[in-house]
Structure 1
Amino acid sequence: MELIILLVVAHFIGDFYLQPKQWVDCRNTNHARSKGLYKHIATHFVLSIFAALLSDLPVFTILLVSLSIAVTHFLADLWKSHQATTLRSFLIDQLVHIIVILGIAFIVSDITFAQISTSFSNLNTLSNAIFVTAYLLVCKPASVLISLALRKHTQHLAEEAGDKGLQAAGAWIGYLERCLTISFIFMGQFAGTAFLVAAKTIFRFGDLTKNNDMKLTEYMMLGTLLSYSIAIFVGWNALYLMRVL
């Protein structure tokens, strides 16, 4: 586990703190002939050596781990250089790096399948299932429920507003506020929910006062109250079920 943590820390330092923008631009322009790409890979190679050294691995193992990470990192970044700069390509790239690190650490650390199975079985509890289900409920299902509840008002207000807002921004704001709300409930930090409500009210206050539209004001209040009501209902019931079951 120590090796995994050290390699992951080394990865994030190398990818986000020791990679100047000019290296990224050079990689995206020149691909395999990019000097910036090779400098970036050399940085990861050195960081991996330090991470492996701190784990007290043999010299040959240290070199094998560092070379494996460097080569796979090169291939992943080379693939990424041919892709559009999107959230999807970024997440795929980072996921590949993390999977490689986990795989190498498991092989080097001699972790058995039985140990991995035991770790997963410890996570497979009823409380964790309720916990995950709560987050799933307050995202898409809650969004659909709110959308259906306010459906008769949505189309009319959308036609009046035009294309002033960001596409799908409202849905993502709802996902985040509900996930944060049940997170605060699980942590027992109910003041955090009050902070979220206050922050959203402050940011929306200017839009509401400038618009002078009672329908829009009531629509936004209904959406916000429904969103928080669902999150609080799911969060409290999830806590209750985790305590009694």
Structure 2
Amino acid sequence: MMYHFCAQTDPGRARDNNEDSVAFEESARVAVLADGMGGYNAGEIASGMATAFIKSELSRWLLEAGATAQAKEVRRAMEICVDNANLAIFNSANSNAAYSGMGTTLVVGVFRDDRLLLGHIGDSRCYRLRGGQLTQITKDHSLLQEQIDAGLITQEQAATSSIKNLVTRALGVEEVVMLDVNEHVVEPGDLYLMCSDGLSDMVDDELIARIVVGDSGLDQKAGLLIDAANDNGGRDNISVLIVSASEAAEKRGLIARLLGK
């Protein structure tokens, strides 16, 4: 499987600073997105620490481990890198008054052959576009999601809720954090979209799907998503990280030869 990566971030229309952070390492097929929180510039410190540390350490481990690494070993490497990043942010917050209470959401993906190991903390999301159908493949760690799960409110009521941004889990806020990790089968033609809530709160899934299903390149799709969030108010920072999957060139060549093309 071949993977192509693209990331863009924008402060939005209501904020001067950008507390989101995105990073990827194409050689290791690692993608990381974080949405920071905290006073002063603490949110951007937390998200920047998370993406830089996890991208660097996880990519280094993956490249050293090579293609023979088993899924359970990759999962454990993800958990260790996230644990170490969490502790680094937590210790920084507790040793510097200006950073007190800082933390960040997290989405981290490792693409290996036809599998995606996807971890997340908080309410930043990952969607998958397959066959024209957009599906959210992460589940928000938020008070709003808990209310939906408990049947206290409907999805329609959730869209206008005043507690959208209250997360129940974040990186760096406590000494220990739990990373939800799930494995997904990747098919040729899949497109994966990681995003902060600056996109998902401003743009509904239907419009997101219409944008990403188009024939434009990844950079243009990312730009159109950010434009749509800003056009709808841009009340928060907006970050998108898009990964597309396609058959490896040698496999496509073999299929073409078998079909006599």
- Output the TM-score relative to the length of structure 1: 0.28
Task: Flag the structure with higher helix content.
Answer: 1
The structure whose Rg is larger is 1
In terms of fraction of residues, the more strand-rich structure is 2
TM-score under structure 2 normalisation?
0.27
